[in-house]
Structure 1
């Protein structure tokens, strides 16, 4: 069954929050925990690594705040995904990268793997891997499906191959169930390790949406962005 999604026009800003730099106090962490869903709080508590827990907390907290605000103010969350090249995956030899790709084989189509593996050097291959990953995540968030969706159903042909930091690109094309789609995506490099992809929807039905895009991401610390939303949570 093909997934169809119509996204509403939105205006606003896009924030890039460097979660790794966030060192929350006990009070800040409890504040965020009180404002998210209980199941999200339980899920975050199961993370092994602190960096993963912080990223999940920021994501869950801002989703909760944006949804709460949208009842009285026109605030909409963009279906956005950020992928980065983790330092722990820094390849010291081809074996580590090849093993990582073997474990992730089912997440991409043969055409996508050809695009990823055709890059010169392990770092370039990992860079292209995470670019594809960000695109797929943005699409999954846009259509509102969970982990049961097979990522091999959606295929991307990225363009251009090389991107410049801070510049927005919209040339990448998508196929769904081997049929071309008119979905529009914005891609951007926040820096040399972070890919961002924003799914804007079908250009045939979301012409107003796609005509108002090209917002650049503004880097904002988690702590600085935390306080404008604290009033939303009655327990805070």
Structure 2
């Protein structure tokens, strides 16, 4: 049986990228026209930068690691809006490559694997504008199981710690949902995560990498699903979900590799329409 190989764990801090108009237009020329048009409709430059870098990281993945020509790479989306590679066509002898991106706050992240489903989610720990913690929690409480919610609202936590725990669970759920590509059709309450007593708490130890959280679906353990939880900085939690079909845990404690704009500029090419 083929083994899982996580080939990329990349993170790009868009807050550190302040392009000139010329450089922004140059990077915008690196992506497909329909994606360029979509990004140009964003009202806020911060949102546009997040989406643009996400598209560039996808192209960089196949150009840098799999030696595809930048201009030959073409992506589409599934019915659930998950990006997929449609060109070049994969050969039967090629590994099955799964990839996923996420962006929120200051960060864009990309993960990729061979012979395994994979998903990722990153979230900035913050309250929406003009919302109290009580109101925010009340609007989203029904997405969580009783166990998860009691963990989130631990009375020994400060409100800020409760918010951190909320987003950690949210990243777990979203990374799994994105890995399986089912979008909002899943009942998030049926996807329950149990934290391991064998690992320190990320809230109190944000520098660690957690790998022992377990997934239960409709109260049944799913041992083939593995999760890697960490923080990119003090306010951004991230989780990778991936599937190990032979039930062997091969998680390693690799951190995300930071990608900068110079690497994208080095590989990127203006998209030329045929």
Work out which of the residue numbers 225, 229, 236 in structure 1 matches 2:267.
Answer: 229
Q: Using the TM superposition, give the Cα deviation of residue 97 of structure 1 relative to its aligned residue in structure 2, in angstroms.
A: 0.5
Root mean square deviation of aligned Cα: 3.2
TM-score (norm 2): 0.67
Structure-2 residue corresponding to 1:84 = 124
Aligned equivalent of 1:145? 182
- 2:31 corresponds to which residue? 36
Structure 1 residues not aligned, in runs of 5+: 1-5
1:56 aligns with 2:98: no
- Deviation for aligned residue 1:181: 0.7
Q: Would the aligned equivalents of 1:44 and 1:57 in 2 still touch at CA under 8 Å?
A: yes
Bigger share in strand: 2
Matches within 5 A, 1:84-233: 84-86=124-126, 89=128, 96-118=132-154, 120-159=157-196, 160=199, 162-163=201-202, 164-182=205-223, 183-202=225-244, 204-205=245-246, 207=248, 210-211=249-250, 213-221=252-260, 223-231=261-269
How far residue 39 of structure 1 moved from its aligned partner, in angstroms, is 4.9
Between structures 1 and 2, the one with greater helix share: 1
Higher relative contact order (CA 8 A, sep 6+): 1
Map Cα deviations across residues 54-102 of structure 1 (whole Å, 9 max, x no partner). Answer: 222222221243245666468863222222213x6599xxx70011112
Paired residues in the alignment total 222
Matched residue SS, 1:152 = helix
Give TM-score scaled by structure 1 length.
0.76
Given the superposition, is the C-alpha separation of residues 218 and 178 from structure 1 closer, same or farther in structure 2, using an over 3 Å criterion? same
The answer as to whether partners of 1:156 and 1:172 remain within 8 angstroms in 2 is yes
Whether contact under 8 Å (1:66, 1:76) holds in the other structure is no
Specify the SS of the correspondent of 1:186: strand
Q: Distance in 1 between matches of 2:5 and 2:31?
A: 24
